[in-house]
Homo-oligomer: A and B are copies of this chain.
Amino acid sequence: MSQPVTATLLLSCPDRKGLVAGVSDFLFRHGANIIHADQHTDQEEGLFLQRVEFELNGVDLPRAELGGAFGPLAERFDMRWGLRFSDETRRVALLVSKQPHCMYDLLARWRMQELPAEIALVISNHPDHAEAARYFGVPYHHLPVVDKAEQEGAVLRLLEQEHVDLVVLARYMRILGDPILDRFPDRIINIHHSFLPAFAGGHPYHQAHERGVKIIGATAHYVTAQLDQGPIIEQDVVRVSHRDTVADMVAKGRDLEKVVLARAVRLHLENRVLVYRNKTVVFD
C-alpha cells in the first residue's frame, strides 16, 4: 500500500508546436517514468495547460535540482509552472463558524487518510468546536470578531506561524479581507451552499425555496475579492420538491456541501487544479 514517491509538474503557457515533445523529451532524458499525463488547449485563448506526474525513482537528478534543470525549457516556452512532490505534506487550516458538518467531515477524512495533507489547526469565530478539534488532535483557536481588521490580523499571523499552505473555509461565514486574500492567491477554498452563479450571497436555501427550483446545489471555489465569484473547482446537485421545506433543503444541502468541499480540497492537494481567467482546469 505504500505508494512510490512521485513528482507532479503543473504548467501553462501560450500554445506552440513542440511543447509536448519538449516536456516529454526532457523527462525521458532524465529517466522519468510518467505515470499520468493530461493536457488541455484552450483554442480561443491560445493557451496550453498540462499536468504530468512521474515517479521520482529512476530520475537521474536529485529532486532539489529538478526545477533548476527544467528552468531553461520553461523559459523558452514562457511557462508558468510548479513542481510538487507527493511526500511533501502540505499544511491545511480549517476555518469554521457555527455549522460544523464540513469540519467534522474533513477531520474524519483526514484521520482515515483520505487527504494527503496535515490539518494543522482549526480557527473559528465561535468557541463551540474546541472539544471536537481536541478529539481529532488538532489545535483549536477561538478568534472572536470584535474588530474585523484586528481579528483578521490575528488569523493571518496564525496562518503564517503555522506555515499554512492551504486555507479551507469549511462554512466560515465571514468575508475575508485583502491581506489574507493577497497572501493566499488560489489557495483559499470556500464552499458556497448553492449552485453558483444561482443564489450567490446570503441565505441561498431560502432563495432557492422562494424561487421554487427543483434542484439545489453546492459549489467549491477559490476565494477572490469578488464575493462568490472566484474560480469554480467543483459543483454537485440534488433534487428537491415542493415537499422540501427550507429546513429540508438545509439538511440535504449539508450532504452536498461536505462531499463537494472534500472533493475540491483533494483535487487541490493532488495538484490537479490550474487556474486561468477566473476558471479552473481540473485534471481528474
A161 within 8 A of B: no
Q: Are B215 and A40 in contact, with the CB atoms below 8 A?
A: no
- A197 interface contact, C-beta 8 A: yes
- 1/0 per residue A257-284: CB within 8 Å of B? 0010010000000000000001111101
Q: Is the Cβ of B28 less than 8 Å from the Cβ of A241?
A: no
Q: A213 touching B235 by the CB < 8 A rule? A: yes
Stretch from A31-39, A62-70, A148-156, A168-176 forming part of the interface with B = A31-39
Secondary structure type dominating chain A contacts: mixed
Bound together, the chains give a CA A110 to CA B128 distance in angstroms of 17
Q: Which of A31, A213, A239, A241 has the most CB of B within 10 A?
A: A213
Copies of the polypeptide in the assembly = 4
| Residues of the B chain whose Cβ atoms lie less than 8 Å from the Cβ of A83 | none
Nearest B residue to A252 via CB reads: B263
Q: How far is the CB of A155 from chain B (nearest CB, A)?
A: 25
- A251 — which chain B residues lie within 8 A by C-beta? 114
Give the docked Cα–Cα distance between A257 and B176 (Å).
35
Q: Tell me whether B236 and A211 are in contact (CB under 8 A).
A: no
CB-CB < 8 A to A17: which residues of B? 28, 31-33, 58
